[in-house]
Amino acid sequence: MGQKILVVEDNELNLKLFCDLLRAHGYAAEPVRDGREAVERARSFQPDLIVMDIQMPYISGLELIEQLKGDAELKRMPIMAVTAYAAKGDEERIRDAGAEGYVSKPISLMKFIGSVRALLEAAAERAEEEEAAAEEKERVEAPVVPEEPEQAEQVEDADEAEQPDEHEPESPAPNVDQAENPDGDPRLPDEAHGGDEPPRLI
C-alpha cells in the first residue's frame, strides 16, 4: 500500500475525483465528507498528507486546519488546502493557519498530483532532518564514561611489580673467617684461642 492521504471534501463529485486520481497514482486515499469528522478520522487513519477543501458547511477549512495543527499528535501531518475562491490574501491566510500547500480550483490534475508529491517529499525530508538532529543532540548530551584499562595491561603491570629490580645489589656472602672468629682475629682457629702448640709440618 502506498502513502496514505486523507481527503476532506463535502462535494461528492470532487471527493470521488480526488480519491480516484490519488489511487490511480498509487496512494491510499481515505474520503471524509463531513469536516467535523476530520480530526478523529485523521487520528485513526494516520495519513501522510491531508487534502482539505476550505469552503465546507458546519466548519470552515481554516478552523479545521487550526484544530489539526493545535493537536500534538496530528500537527506534523502536512495539509494541502483546496479552494474554489482565490481571492487576494487567501493563500496568506491559509498558510498562516498552518497549511503547507495550497491549490485553487479549477484544478489541473497534473498540477494537483505534482503538489501532492512535493508535499510528501518535503515532509519526508523534514522528518529525516528532525531525526538526525535528535540523534546528534542525544550524542552530544550523553555522559562521557571513562574507559577502563584493558585486562592485558593490568596483568602486565602486575608481572612487572612482582619481578625484582635487576640493578638491586646482592647481599654480600658471609666471610667464613669472620663467622668462625667473631672477634675478627685473622689468625688460625688454634692460634686465636691461645694454643701453645706450634703448627705442624706435614
pLDDT at 197: 55
Model confidence over 119-154: pLDDT tens digits?
999 989 988 887 888 788 888 877 766 666 565 555
| Cβ-proximal residues to 38 (8 Å cutoff; 6+ apart), any chain | 6, 8, 32, 50, 52, 64, 68
199 within domain boundaries: no
What are residue 6's DSSP bridge partners? 30, 50
User: For position 111, which CATH number holds?
Assistant: 3.40.50.2300
61 within domain boundaries: yes
Residue 10, pLDDT above cutoff 60: yes
185 within domain boundaries: no
Task: List the domain range (segments joined by +) for residue 109.
Answer: 4-124
67 within domain boundaries: yes
Buried b (16+ CB within 10 A) or exposed e, 18-42: bbebbeeeebbbbebeebeebbebb
pLDDT at 191: 47
157 within domain boundaries: no
Backbone φ and ψ for 193, nearest 5 degrees, come out as -95, 10
158 within domain boundaries: no
175 within domain boundaries: no
Phi-psi region of 98 (alpha: psi -120 to 50; beta: other; left: phi over 0): left
Number of domains in the chain: 1
Q: What one-character DSSP code corresponds to residue 36?
A: G
Give the range among 47-51, 69-73, 147-151, 184-188 with minimum mean pLDDT: 184-188
pLDDT at 12: 94
Range 8-18 average pLDDT: 94
Model confidence over 19-54: pLDDT tens digits?
999 999 999 999 999 999 999 999 999 999 999 999
